[in-house]
C-alpha cells in the first residue's frame, strides 16, 4: 500500500522542509482567536461568513466555493468522488505528471483508483503531449499542480485548457494552486469557460495557517456537487473559520511574505551559482536543488545544525535533489551559510 512518508516531527530548529510560512501567521489571526468565546467553541461552527470572505477574495460566486479542512482534504474528497470503484468494476484512472505532490498518489490509492504516471521531461518542461496521450476512456481525474511541487515550475494556462478540452465530460481536471500566490498566476479567471476544471487553494503556505487546516476547492457548482457531498459535515473548526477572515483582512502581512520569498529565492540562486549546484527557477516559495551525490550527508549535516530541508531524491527525475523552503530572508541566509560551510568543508 502506498502511504504518505511523513517527515519526522521536529521541534525548534529551522523548518525549511514543509514550505510553511516560517514567519508565522498575521498577528490579526491571533487577536481574532483570542476573542473566541466559550459559547462559540461549544457550538457547531457556522461557515457562511468565512465562505463568503473566501469567495470574495478569489472573485467568484459563493456557490462556486467549497471550504475544506486543508487542501489535502479537498484532494481526498475529489479522489473519492471521482475514483471510488464503479459497479462495473473497472478501476477509474487518475493521471499524474511526475514529479508531483505525493499526496495525489496516496489519495488515489485510498479511493481505489488507478495511478497513471507521466514521467518528467528534461528540466521539467510540462509534458503536454504525454499527458494528452495518457488520456483514455477510463480517465476520471487529471492532477495538475501549478506551480508544481517539488519543482517550482509552472504549467502554461493554455496547456491546462488543452487537457480540459480533450478529456470526456465527466472527467475532472484538478489544478492544485497551493503555491499560486507566489506565482501571481491563476486558472480561476478561466474557470467560467471550463466547467470540468476544479481549482484547489490552500491557506497553509502564503497565509501561514498550516496548523489550523483550511483550504478550498473552486469550480462550477454542478461539478462541485458530488465533491461537496464527500466533505464531512462540520469539517472546518471554528478556529480555522475565524482565522481565515482575519488573515484575508491583513493584506500587508501577506504581501510582505511574498516579498521575502522573492528575495530569498534570489539569494539561494546566487548561492547555488557560487557553489556550482544545479537548481530550477521556482515560481513557488521553495527551490529544488541538486546536491549531486552528497545529498544524504548534506541532509545529515544540516539536521545536525537544526536545519531541516526535504529530501526529494527518490521522486521521479529528482535524483540527488532536496527541496528548500525560501520564505523569510533571515532564515534563507542561515540555511545558505550552513550549506556553504558544509560543502566547502567537504571539498577542501
Ligand atoms: C502543501 C500542499 C497542499 C496541502 O495544503 P493544506 O491546505 O495544508 O492541506 C496541497 N497541494 C500542494 C501541492 C501542496 O504543496
Break the chain into its structural domains and give their ranges.
14-22+252-347, 27-248
Ligand 1 mutation target, pool 4, 204, 236, most atoms within 8 A of CB: 204
Pick the atom of ligand 1 nearest to 68's CA. Answer: 7
Pick the atom of ligand 1 nearest to 149's CA. Answer: 13
Contacts of 141 (CB under 8 A, 6+ apart): 78, 79, 82, 83, 92, 93, 94, 95, 108, 113, 171, 172, 173, 174
Residue 7 has pLDDT above 80, yes or no: no
Q: What is the pLDDT of residue 12?
A: 78
The dotted CATH code for 27-248 is: 3.40.640.10
Determine whether the shortest distance from the Cβ of 109 to ligand 1 is under 6 A: no
Q: What is the pLDDT of residue 87?
A: 55
Q: Atom 12 (ligand 1): residue with closest C-alpha? A: 178
Determine whether the shortest distance from the Cβ of 18 to ligand 1 is under 6 A: no
Lowest average pLDDT, out of 32-36, 64-68, 86-90, 300-304, goes to 86-90
Q: How far is the CA of 105 from the centre of ligand 1 (A)?
A: 14
Fold for 14-22+252-347, please state it. Answer: 3.90.1150
Residue 46 has pLDDT above 60, yes or no: yes
Determine whether the shortest distance from the Cβ of 14 to ligand 1 is under 6 A: no
∠ CA(77), CA(196), CA(162), 5° rounding?
Answer: 125
Determine whether the shortest distance from the Cβ of 171 to ligand 1 is under 6 A: no
pTM of the predicted protein model:
0.96
* Residue with cell string 471554528: 238
User: Distance between CA 86 and CA 283 in Å, rounded?
Assistant: 38
Q: How far is the CA of 75 from the centre of ligand 1 (A)?
A: 9
Q: What does the pLDDT look like over 227-252, one tens digit per residue? A: 999 999 999 999 999 999 999 999 99
Pick the atom of ligand 1 nearest to 204's CA. Answer: 8
Q: What is the pLDDT of residue 292?
A: 86
Pick the atom of ligand 1 nearest to 210's CA. Answer: 8
Q: What does the pLDDT look like over 200-226, one tens digit per residue? A: 999 999 999 999 999 999 999 999 999
- Mean of pLDDT values over 139-165: 98
Q: What is the pLDDT of residue 169?
A: 81
pLDDT tier for residue 348 given thresholds of 50, 70 and 90: confident
Q: What does the pLDDT look like over 314-343, one tens digit per residue? A: 999 999 999 999 999 999 999 999 999 999
Report the mean per-residue pLDDT for the chain: 95
Q: What does the pLDDT look like over 84-139, one tens digit per residue? A: 876 567 789 999 999 999 999 999 999 999 999 999 999 999 999 999 999 999 99
pLDDT tier for residue 1 given thresholds of 50, 70 and 90: low
User: Distance between CA 45 and CA 69 in Å, rounded?
Assistant: 13
CA atoms within 13 A on the CB side of 50: 23
Amino acid at each position: 500500500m502506498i502511504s504518505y512518508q511523513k517527515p519526522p516531527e521536529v521541534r525548534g530548529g529551522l523548518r525549511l522542509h514543509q514550505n510553511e510560512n516560517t514567519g508565522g501567521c498575521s498577528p490579526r489571526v491571533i487577536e481574532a482567536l483570542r476573542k473566541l468565546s466559550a459559547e462559540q467553541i461549544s457550538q457547531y461552527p457556522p461557515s457562511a461568513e468565512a465562505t463568503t470572505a473566501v469567495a470574495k477574495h478569489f472573485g467568484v460566486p459563493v456557490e462556486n466555493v467549497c471550504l475544506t479542512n486543508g487542501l489535502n482534504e479537498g484532494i481526498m474528497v475529489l479522489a473519492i468522488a471521482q475514483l471510488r470503484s464503479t459497479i462495473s468494476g473497472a478501476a477509474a484512472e487518475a493521471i499524474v505528471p511526475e514529479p508531483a505532490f505525493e499526496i495525489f498518489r496516496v489519495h488515489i490509492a485510498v479511493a481505489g483508483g488507478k495511478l497513471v504516471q507521466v514521467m518528467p521531461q528534461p528540466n521539467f518542461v510540462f509534458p503536454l503531449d504525454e499527458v494528452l496521450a495518457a488520456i483514455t476512456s477510463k480517465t476520471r481525474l487529471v492532477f495538475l499542480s501549478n506551480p508544481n511541487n517539488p519543482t517550482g515550475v509552472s504549467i502554461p494556462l493554455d496547456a491546462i485548457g488543452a487537457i480540459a478540452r480533450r478529456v470526456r465530460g465527466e472527467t475532472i481536471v484538478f489544478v492544485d494552486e497551493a503555491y499560486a500566490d507566489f506565482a501571481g498566476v491563476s486558472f480561476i479567471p478561466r474557470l467560467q469557460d471550463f466547467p470540468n476544471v476544479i481549482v484547489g487553494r490552500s491557506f497553509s503556505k502564503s497565509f501561514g495557517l498550516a496548523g489550523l487546516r483550511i483550504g478550498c476547492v473552486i469550480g462550477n457548482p454542478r461539478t462541485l456537487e458530488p465533491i461537496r457531498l464527500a466533505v464531512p459535515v462540520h469539517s472546518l473548526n471554528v478556529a480555522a473559520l475565524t482565522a481565515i477572515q482575519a488573515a484575508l483582512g491583513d493584506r500587508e502581512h501577506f504581501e510582505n511574505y511574498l516579498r521575502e520569498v522573492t528575495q530569498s529565492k534570489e539569494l539561494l540562486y546566487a548561492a547555488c551559482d557560487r557553489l556550482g549546484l544545479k537548481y530550477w527557477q521556482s515560481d513557488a516559495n521553495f527551490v529544488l536543488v541538486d546536491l549531486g551525490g552528497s545529498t544524504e550527508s548534506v541532509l545529515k549535516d544540516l539536521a545536525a545544525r537544526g536545519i531541516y530541508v526535504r529530501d526529494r531524491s527518490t521522486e521521479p527525475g529528482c535524483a540527488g535533489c532536496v527541496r528548500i523552503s525560501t520564505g523569510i530572508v533571515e532564515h534563507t541566509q542561515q540555511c545558505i551559510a550552513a550549506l556553504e560551510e558544509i560543502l566547502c568543508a567537504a571539498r577542501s
